[in-house]
């Protein structure tokens, strides 16, 4: 079994065609999409998680990939053990995929995009390869091409599931790698070698026997200027916090765990200041106990016992998002309740206490939720992905934290949308909708017409069987 990290250096610029569908390979399987400005320039980029064949795609603003305005697509193809690059022409069209191997049987599960080499600010891709127990790096020079280089192991049987890139040790501004290894019950820290380039071997930190860490988030929890680690341990029903010692080599204290409740099965975590105390608090979606958990910071990187807020019997919350939907300058919680076919809104009453959930009916089996100002009135609206009814639902904010009835937009027969995120991908009319359609093997883009209505979906294929 391969256990290594790949470095792929950019080779060349691209010329662009204008197709509508772009094959990445048979059985590439997308199931999740996210939007964020990953590189700090030229707007928001797109991240796509393809769970059917365990891969993730990233649609990046190509000013940082090949130097041409518009978006490029970078996708991790677990079925064919490679990363594909589809270069854009700046008008929402993409050229045929070029692939770069991540190793036989690598099954890439997660990607993170950042300049990990520090070479001219060029965008690199970090890939968690669960099948070959390694983290791969595709290193670029801004021209859109990549070259395979040296691998770094995450340990035999580690099955890395989630990766996060940041400077954990303050060493010269170099970016380091943190990875959640579900197979070996640890988080791995891979420090950049400031002296000789590349990366030092992984240092693992235990998350507990049987913990099965599924998600990792890295941020400064105790105002010590050094990022700490938060991890969702689905197998042991807790959230783990590993504080940074501040040592230049990037050393973390043993995990301190905070229970999320017996049988809670936390699947993801979100960190935000919930009580206005200027300290990061933790929010977790507990799919097994039908609630969201809030762990308020005590101000020194420790947390109070979890407070839970019900999402309803049988709700099975699968996705949680924290933002100011109530317009009160306090952040609120929106949650997709897959078991009861609704989206829940829990308004923040202050001090990190939330009002009882108010629900809004969705289509069948909502799997993901996101918020943004869709209609330009400064209030945050809600979008959900309804897997069971093959559509996305839009809820407009009335301006007081209540919402209109859902308006749906089809994602296609048998599309089974799994995840939805929002960003202004075309630069006009506000945030657009990007959705991962697991049933029809594509990613859909619904452009904002202005006023919070959306055009018919345009799809981009991710491969047969996806």
In DSSP notation, 336-400 reads EETTTTEEEEE-EEETTEEPPPEEEE-SSSEEEEEEE-SSSSSSPEEEEEETTTTEEEEE-B-SS
End-to-end CA distance of the chain: 25
- Phi/psi of residue 62, nearest 5 degrees: -80, 5
* pLDDT of residue 236 exceeding 80: yes
Q: Report the length, in residues, of the chain.
A: 466
158-168 per-residue burial string, b: 16 or more CB within 10 A, e: under 16? bbbbbbbbebb
Percent of the chain with pLDDT over 90: 38
pLDDT in tens, 122-165: 767 677 777 788 887 767 655 444 555 557 899 999 998 888 88
CA–CA separation, 318 and 26 (whole Å): 28
- Name the residue among 30, 169, 211 with its Cα closest to residue 111: 30
Domains of the chain: 24-259 (2.130.10.10)
Task: Answer yes or no: are the C-beta atoms of 319 and 385 closer than 8 Å.
Answer: no
Band (pLDDT 50/70/90 cuts) for residue 316 is very high
pLDDT in tens, 214-223: 888 888 999 8
CA–CA separation, 342 and 361 (whole Å): 4
* pLDDT of residue 103 exceeding 80: no
| Average of per-residue pLDDT across 440-454 | 77
pLDDT in tens, 154-196: 999 999 888 888 999 876 678 899 999 999 999 999 998 877 6
pLDDT in tens, 185-215: 999 999 988 776 788 899 999 999 999 998 8
- Name the residue among 434, 436, 442, 435 with its Cα closest to residue 463: 442
CA–CA separation, 186 and 236 (whole Å): 12
Task: Answer yes or no: are the C-beta atoms of 95 and 42 closer than 8 Å.
Answer: no
pLDDT, averaged across the chain: 75
- Name the residue among 280, 285, 278, 289 with its Cα closest to residue 312: 289
- Name the residue among 298, 318, 296 with its Cα closest to residue 307: 296
Report pLDDT for 22: 33
pLDDT in tens, 367-387: 888 888 999 999 999 989 898
CA–CA separation, 375 and 39 (whole Å): 26
Report pLDDT for 111: 60
Task: Answer yes or no: are the C-beta atoms of 14 and 87 closer than 8 Å.
Answer: yes
* Residues whose CB is less than 8 angstroms from the CB of residue 94 and which lie 6 or more positions away in sequence, other chains included: 16, 17, 19, 22, 72, 73, 86, 87, 88, 460
Record the tokens describing residue 267, joined without a space: 């699947």
Report pLDDT for 211: 98
Band (pLDDT 50/70/90 cuts) for residue 42 is very low
Band (pLDDT 50/70/90 cuts) for residue 324 is very high
Report pLDDT for 319: 83
Task: Answer yes or no: are the C-beta atoms of 311 and 319 closer than 8 Å.
Answer: no
Most confident of 37-51, 333-347, 447-461: 333-347
Report pLDDT for 429: 87
Q: Is 438 exposed, middle or buried (0-12, 13-18, 19+ CB in 10 A)?
A: buried
Band (pLDDT 50/70/90 cuts) for residue 56 is very low
DSSP string, 71-131: EEEEEEETTTTEEEEE-B-SSS-BPPPEEEE--TT--EEEEEEE-SS-STT--EEEEEETT
The CA-CA-CA angle for residues 402, 311, 31, to 5°, reads 90
């Amino acid at each position: 079994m391969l256990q290594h990290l790949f470095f792929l250096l950019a080779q060349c610029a691209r010329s662009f065609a204008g197709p509508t569908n772009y094959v990445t390979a048979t059985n590439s399987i997308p199931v999740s999409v996210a939007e964020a400005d990953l590189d700090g320039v030229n707007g928001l980029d797109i991240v796509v998680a393809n769970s059917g064949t365990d891969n993730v795609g990233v649609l990046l603003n190509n000013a940082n990939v090949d130097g041409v305005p518009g978006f490029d697509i970078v996708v991790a193809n677990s079925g064919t053990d490679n990363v594909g690059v589809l270069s854009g022409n700046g008008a929402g069209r993409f050229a045929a995929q070029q692939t770069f191997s991540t190793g036989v049987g690598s099954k890439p599960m997660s990607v993170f995009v950042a300049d990990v080499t520090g070479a001219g600010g060029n965008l690199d891709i970090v890939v968690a390869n669960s099948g070959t127990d390694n983290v791969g790096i595709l290193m670029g020079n801004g021209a859109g091409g990549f070259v395979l280089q040296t691998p770094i192991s995450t340990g035999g049987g580690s099955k890395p599931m989630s990766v996060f890139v940041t400077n954990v040790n303050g060493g010269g501004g170099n970016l380091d790698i943190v990875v959640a290894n579900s197979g070996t019950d640890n988080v791995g820290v891979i420090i950049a070698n400031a002296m000789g380039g590349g990366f030092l071997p992984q240092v693992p930190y235990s998350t507990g026997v049987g913990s099965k860490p599924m998600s990792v988030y890295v941020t400064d929890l105790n105002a010590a200027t050094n990022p700490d680690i938060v991890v969702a341990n689905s197998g042991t029903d807790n959230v783990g916090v590993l504080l940074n010692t501040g040592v230049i080599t990037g050393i973390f204290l043993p995990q301190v765990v905070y229970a999320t409740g017996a049988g809670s099965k936390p699947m993801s975590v979100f960190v935000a200041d919930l009580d206005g105390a200027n300290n990061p608090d933790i929010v977790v979606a507990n799919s097994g106990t039908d609630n969201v958990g809030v762990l308020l910071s005590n101000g020194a990187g420790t947390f109070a016992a979890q407070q839970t807020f019900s999402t309803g019997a049988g709700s099975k919350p699968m996705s949680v998002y924290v933002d100011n939907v109530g317009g009160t300058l306090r952040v609120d919680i929106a949650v997709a309740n897959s078991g009861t076919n609704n989206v829940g809104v829990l308004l923040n009453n202050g001090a990190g206490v939330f009002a009882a959930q108010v629900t809004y009916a969705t289509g069948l089996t909502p799997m993901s939720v996101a918020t943004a100002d869709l209609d330009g009135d400064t209030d945050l609206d809600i979008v959900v992905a309804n897997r069971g009814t093959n559509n996305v639902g839009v809820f407009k904010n009335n301006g007081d934290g209540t919402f209109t009835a859902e308006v749906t937009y089809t994602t296609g027969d048998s599309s089974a949308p799994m995840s939805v995120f929002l960003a202004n991908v075309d630069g006009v009319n506000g945030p657009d909708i990007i959705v991962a359609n697991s049933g029809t093997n594509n990613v859909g883009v619904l452009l904002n017409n202005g006023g919070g209505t959306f055009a018919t979906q345009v799809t981009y294929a991710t491969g047969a069987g996806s």
